[in-house]
Homo-oligomer: A and B are copies of this chain.
Amino acid sequence: MEGQINCSDCTNKLCYIQQHCSPNWVSILSASKNQLWYKKGQYIFREGDRIFGLYFVERGKVKIISTGLNNKEQIVRLATTGHVIGHRGYGSETYPIGAVALEDTQVCFLDNEIIYDAFMNNPKFTIALMMFYSFELRKTEIRERHLAQMTIREKIADTLLYLKEIFGMNSADGSLSATLSRQEIADIAGTSAEQVIRELSDFESEKLIAKNGRKLLLLNVDGLFKIVAAHNRNRYSAAWHSIDSNSFPQN
Q: A: which residues have CB within 8 A of B?
A: 47-48, 64, 66, 68-69, 72, 74, 76-77, 87-88, 90-91, 94, 96-97, 116, 119-121, 123-124, 126-127, 129-131, 133-134, 136-138, 140-149, 190-191, 230-231, 234-235, 240, 247-249, 251
Contacts and interface: CB of A to CB of B under 8 A. Distances in A.
Interface of A, secondary structure class, is: helix
In the complex this chain forms, how many copies of it are found? 2
Contacts of A94: 235
B138 A74 contact: no
A192 B248 CA distance: 39
B68 A145 contact: yes
Contacts of A134: 87-88, 133
Given A119-B126, A126-B127, A147-B148, A97 B231 contact: no
Nearest to A47: B235
Contacts of A143: 144
A30 B121 CA distance: 25
